[in-house]
Amino acid sequence: MSSSSPTSLPRNLALAYALLIAYACLHPLTGWRDSGLPLFDYLSAPWPKYFVAADFVFNVLGYLPLGFLAAAALAQRAGVARAAVLATLIAGLLSLGLETAQNLLPSRIASNLDLGGNVAGGLLGALAGARWGPLLFGTRGRIQRWRGAYVIGGRTGEAGLILLGLWLLGQLGAADLLFSSGDVRSLLGIPAPLPFRPERFIAFDIALTAASLLAVGLFVRCMTRGPNPLPVVLVLALGVGAKTVATATFFEPGAPLAWLTPGAGRGLVIGGALLAFALLLPRLLQHALAGTALLAATALVNLMPENPYLPYNRQLASFSNVLNFHGLTALVDSLWPFAALAYLCALGLWRGEHLGARPARGGRRL
């Protein structure tokens, strides 16, 4: 298909976000067992003795985007009021299922208060999505117009947007390195292969930041139309903003720019110069260079020594929802480069004409 229906983007984003919520709620997905208690007893539990306002707010905010996206996807066909009701119902049923499933995990506690916060967040998001979703995602909505002007059409364009959203989510994780992703050592429990030395760490930091900036910038370039560099600059700026928010929240509240280490600063300069040059190359070379830079950045982050000076906020980490959030961002951050590489391969096969190559006769376009 050459273009997407007005509701396809919010629908796909809602599905992707629901999967992320499911993983975060069931993290770490191990130790399943039957406690012997009725699964739905938690629904009638009294008010908890200890109430953590931050956890409740986190539950509300966590379901806001789901309600918004679901209502935006439904509003075109179901109408405003019906879309808000259906989206709230979807959010509530998802939360009910996940909270009930937590009874089977020894590290999780099902809570009717969490369920209430999730439903409230879904309702607030649904009301906003039913009202403003069509203005953003409709045929002539702002996001739809922006997407048509800058992003390639079809499912490949939507998949690229979802991957960019996941990359931004990974930048909110508990890692202090700018733009880094693809660290599978933490998932597999593998220690760092090289011991820490300041000069070694700074050298790796420079190379990793430069390679990551080049990789992400060219990834954006491969999924956008025309030579306009605005989408590339916008995504990189959002990545810097996400890292700044994560640093201020989880590391140093009084120093939101603590991520700007000497290595990261030099890496930004080098990577920016390389990216500016690469944006002048033919699109086919940009495509190949994007994959090469992704591979290089992934290799560097797995060879890099551990940082012994990570100023992580241990008190904040005691909140259960923060731990769940870090489990989610760690998974997304670790797997993103591999999904991005697969996407680039598919993009080259299915949309060769977009990269300046002639598509095979009878080839499939998505």
Residue 354 has pLDDT above 60, yes or no: no
CA-CA distances (angstroms) from residue 206 to 137, 196, 246, 269?
Answer: 39, 15, 20, 9
Across the range 328-355, mean pLDDT stands at 82
Q: What is the pLDDT of residues 201-214, one digit of tens each?
A: 999 999 999 999 99
Q: Measured on CA atoms in the order 65, 68, 71, 76, is the torsion positive or negative?
A: negative
Is 60 exceeded by the pLDDT of residue 95? yes
Domain segments of the chain as ranges:
8-147, 154-355
DSSP string, 250-319: II-TT-TTTT--HHHHHHHHHHHHHHHHHTTS-HHHHHHHHHHHHHHHHHHHHHSPP-TT----HHHHTS
| Cβ-count burial 239-270 (b if 16+ within 10 Å, e if not) | bbebbbebbbebbbeeebebbbbebbebbbeb
- On the question of pLDDT at 341 being above 90, the answer is yes
SS3 state at 77? helix
Q: Does residue 241 carry a pLDDT above 80?
A: yes
Q: Each residue of 51-85: pLDDT tens digit? A: 778 778 888 999 999 999 999 999 878 888 999 99
pTM reported for the whole predicted model: 0.80
Least confident of 17-21, 24-28, 301-305: 24-28
| pLDDT at position 360 over 50 | no
pLDDT at 359: 38
Mean pLDDT score across all residues of the chain? 84
Q: Is the pLDDT of residue 27 over 90?
A: no
pLDDT tens-place string over residues 121-173: 999 999 999 999 888 887 777 787 888 888 988 888 889 999 999 999 888 87
Could you give the 3-state DSSP secondary structure of residue 224? strand
* Predicted confidence band of residue 304 (pLDDT cuts 50, 70, 90): very high
Q: Would you state the pLDDT for residue 350?
A: 64
Tokens of 56: 């409740």
Selection from 102, 113, 117, 115 nearest residue 50 by Cα: 113
Quick check: bond before 305 cis, omega within 30? no
